[in-house]
Amino acid sequence: MPETWQPLLAEAEALFKASKFFDGVNKVNKSMELFETEVGGSGSQILKDPATFVAEITPKLSAEQKSALRKMYEVRGDLLSGLGALKRAATEYGSAAILDPASEEIKAKKAKVEAAEKDSLSEDSDKKVPVSVLTGFLGSGKTTLLNHILQAHHGKRIAVIENEFGEVGIDDSLVKAGSLASEENIVEMNNGCICCTVRGDLIAGLKKLIKNSKKTGKPLDGVMIETTGLADPAPVAQTFFADEYVQQHMRLDGILTLVDAAHVIQHLDDEKPEGVENEAVEQIAFADRILLNKCDLVEEATLVEVEKRIRAINATVPIKRTTNSEVEMDFVLGIRGFSLDKIIDMDDAFLEDSHDHQHDNRVSSVGIDVPGEVVQQKLNQWIGWLLKEKGVDLFRSKGVLAVKGMKEKFVFQAIHMLFANSQEGAWGPDEERRCKMIRQNLDREELTKGFMACMAKQ
């Protein structure tokens, strides 16, 4: 039997009563689109441009159809207001009011969301834990920013969720827990990209943090989610509306995007295979704040050019030029930058429960887990070869290694051909020694063989 709009509308109402706003929006949208087709409309105008739709269709509707349409806009308004998209909810109530000007109830609902929108620092949202999503291309400076945030003296307890692209997780060893970030507050996920298969893991990670904080009686002041450099931030942001528990306890404070001034133009210009989104563009489009990082590596003219490119994608986002991701905390924390209304205006499919995001499968990752120690001289030669011969395609390589004769951990980081290393504290007794690389069109065998040749004989 073909689907009809009536049962879908009833389901949407029931979902609103059960506070399942995200699922409810999906149902009411479907119901409205079916209704639109039934009354001779098309193109989802009923959702995208309610004012025009109502003006054009009303003269053609029976009293019964008019009343159904009024109900639809009302239910959609209720659901959107439940999710916090207050401006859009007011628009929906406005359409319901045009269809039923005598209804005091609709007028009251509209006035209520308009007042709440003005007072967006409402008490209700203040009780929720603010969550920031850190995005930015591979190697753009996300972990560096995270470390500043964790170590800054803001007196806040901040938890971290790490997500890495690839088979070996490394960032947990590179994140320097600050005075208030204890181990129980660092969750690592490396089973896949946060924006696809592991959304369930992300939700579970967020719930675990809230439950931990309730159990220990230590309230959380914030959560930072560091996404992989290859993540599309939209589905990550959607998580805050799709899961009821998360929606009740947390609010998305903002999407913070790190832009690597030296390499971003190359990534923005990268022509992707059909159907694959350019992650660098998406990360800028969804940003609530941009840190234009690595300003030490380029000339003023390049910075101006990069700012122009950013503005062409996101005209209003505040941008700060930074080096080593150094920035005042109030630019990144407690910014109340994320607005569901803004996102729905930009991408009206944002609340759709289907995710057809495809990764660029030319990008793959080789992870090498290395038990034992490497010989410094051989390693230097191999890294030299790697950067010179493979640097153009090599997005990112990083490793935490045990070097023969060195008590400290040897950390190396490379982005394309730029390389840095440092020594980062002594090895713990049970710590793993590992090395990770991410690059396009990877020859796993060649890389693994080259690296293994650097190992010291046992």
- Binding stretches for ligand GTP (CB under 6 A): 136, 138-144, 171, 229, 258, 293-294, 296-297, 323-325, 396, 398, 413, 415, 420
Q: How far is the CB of 367 from ligand GTP (least distance, A)?
A: 12
Strands 363-369 and 434-440: antiparallel
CA distance 337 to 187: 24
Residue count (the chain): 458
**∠ at Cα 260 (197, 250), nearest 5°?**
45
Give whichever of 103 and 324 is closer to ligand GTP, judged by the CB atom: 324
Q: What are phi and psi of 31, to 5 degrees?
A: -60, -45
CA distance 10 to 331: 44
CA 449 vs CA 145, 415, 435, 444: distances in Å: 34, 21, 13, 8
Q: How far is the CB of 427 from ligand GTP (least distance, A)?
A: 20
Task: Please name the amino acid found at residue 302.
Answer: T
* Bridge partners (DSSP) listed for residue 127: none
Residue 110 tokens read as: 């509209």
Q: How far is the CB of 261 from ligand GTP (least distance, A)?
A: 8
Residue 198 tokens read as: 């592991």
Q: How far is the CB of 169 from ligand GTP (least distance, A)?
A: 11
Q: How far is the CB of 53 from ligand GTP (least distance, A)?
A: 44
Q: How far is the CB of 396 from ligand GTP (least distance, A)?
A: 5
**What is the tally of helices (H) and strands (E) in the chain?**
20, 12
Residue 184 tokens read as: 């129980």
Whether 411 contacts 424, CB under 8 Å: yes
Whether 259 contacts 310, CB under 8 Å: yes
Q: How far is the CB of 453 from ligand GTP (least distance, A)?
A: 24
Residue 299 tokens read as: 């000339």
Residue 112 tokens read as: 């209520």
Q: How far is the CB of 109 from ligand GTP (least distance, A)?
A: 44
Give whichever of 238 and 325 is closer to ligand GTP, judged by the CB atom: 325
CA distance 27 to 23: 6
